[in-house]
Amino acid sequence: MKYKIFVDGSEGTTGLMINERLANRNDLHILKIDSDKRKDINERKKYINDADIVFLCLPDVAAKEAVSLIENPDTKVIDASTAHRTNIDWAYGLPELSAEHRTKIKNSSRVAVPGCYATGFISIMYPLVAGGIVPKDYPVTTFGISGYSGGGKKRIAEYEDPNGNPFESPQLYSLGLTHKHIPEMTVISSLNSAPLFSPIISAYFKGMSVCVPLHTRLLSGSNTKESIHEYMQNYYSSEKYIKVMPLGCENDYPNGFLGATRVNNTNYLEIYVVGNNEQIMLVSVLDNLGKGSSGAAIQNMNIMLGIEEDFAL
């Protein structure tokens, strides 16, 4: 039996990447809506209710509308929008966080794919808060840089404009400190207040780094760079896609620099622990279109269907 899959919103960046990843799967039947009917609500409703798994690659309002169209109790949803990421009735699609997260994904018919920046942040912060190292009331700051593909079709068009790209340098954005990933970063990490988050977009296509600096004097107990590295390494020791890199390995990279494109075209996320014993920084590196979106979506689908989690990834 082939599972029936429908991608609602297949013309966007995430939808295109999901379709590309699904194209060579012989265990799936991809339902294709006519391009001139992809915004026809009745046609979409038909495809949604005929599918075993529906990927929602839509704006938040449209994603909520799509969920409201479901009448088939066997239809499962994987939502790549921000609409349901803090909804307790939905599973949060970062299975590496805990056995409970993975089990909830497996048993759920509703899964929210994490945001790309949120994936990088939460993969660092969740274990530290869960382990009592970072207090829930810690004044967390974080910053990150991403390729322009994270901005969606409009931003990609601006950066790839053949008549001249006006963005000559990396661009700070979301200067009102209200980035759309902040709610899930706060809630999923169990922080008492929102982190101060500064994102940066740069003139390369994809790849992302997310940085979380910490003052050891504000942490719980006695912590060093070495002890935090050991804790994180143990936390993710059984995971395939989240890897805590050897302490100091960044010194062997060209010029000692840590680039944001190291794991492009994969579903991997690397975590580095750098700094000194007064100020420690944890850095995650991921493909914002891989583990940060389409790769995570496929990983969640595999778990929901009860097949090997890393199949075709």
Question: 197 near 179, Cβ under 8 Å?
Answer: yes
Of the two residues 162 and 4, the one the predictor is more confident about is 4
At 252, the pLDDT band (50, 70, 90 cuts) reads: very high
Q: Select from 3.40.50.970, 3.30.565.10, 3.30.360.10, 3.90.1580.10 the CATH code of 116-288.
A: 3.30.360.10
pLDDT band per the 50, 70, 90 thresholds, residue 251: very high
- Residue 73: pLDDT band with limits 50, 70, 90: very high
Q: Which helix (H) or strand (E) holds 119?
A: helix 116-130
pLDDT bin (cut points 50, 70, 90) of residue 36 is confident
CATH 3.30.360.10 range(s) for the chain read 116-288
The pLDDT score that the predictor gives to residue 168 is 80
Q: What is the pLDDT of residue 164?
A: 75
Confidence check: pLDDT of 205 > 90: yes
pLDDT (average), residues 151-179: 89
**What average pLDDT does this structure show over 179-200?**
98
Which amino acid is residue 275, in one-letter code? G
Average pLDDT over residues 75-92: 98
* Mean pLDDT lowest among 23-32, 112-121, 226-235: 23-32
User: Which stretch of 15-29, 126-140, 189-203, 283-297 has the lowest confidence by average pLDDT?
Assistant: 15-29
116 among known catalytic residues: yes
Q: pLDDT grade, residue 166 (50/70/90)? A: confident
- Span 253-276, mean pLDDT? 97
**Average pLDDT for the chain:** 95
Residue 7 has a pLDDT of 96
The catalytic residue among 57, 116, 211, 249 is 116
55 Cβ contact partners less than 8 Å away, ≥ 6 residues apart = 5, 6, 7, 8, 9, 15, 18, 78, 80, 297, 301
CATH 3.40.50.720-classified regions of the chain = 3-113+292-305
Question: Does the predicted model carry a pTM greater than 0.85?
Answer: yes
- Range 156-163 average pLDDT: 87
Mean pLDDT, to the nearest integer, of 83-95?
A: 98
- Quote the percentage of the chain above a pLDDT of 70: 100
CATH of domain 3-113+292-305: 3.40.50.720
pLDDT of residue 154: 86
CA dihedral 108, 295, 263, 151 (to 10 degrees): -110
The pLDDT of residue 47 is above 90: yes
Q: What is the pLDDT of residue 32?
A: 92
Summarize the confidence of residues 288-312 as an average pLDDT.
Answer: 97
Distance from the first to the final alpha carbon of the chain? 21
**Which of the pair, 198 or 11, is modelled with greater confidence?**
198
Please determine, for residue 292, whether its predicted confidence score (pLDDT) is greater than 80: yes
Q: C-alpha dihedral over 203, 268, 58, 206, to 10 degrees?
A: 10
Burial of 57 (C-beta count, 10 Å sphere; 0-12/13-18/19+):
buried
Residue 38: the pLDDT is 82
**Contact present, 6 and 22 (Cβ < 8 Å):** no
State the number of CA atoms in the 13 A half-sphere of 62 facing the CB.
Answer: 14
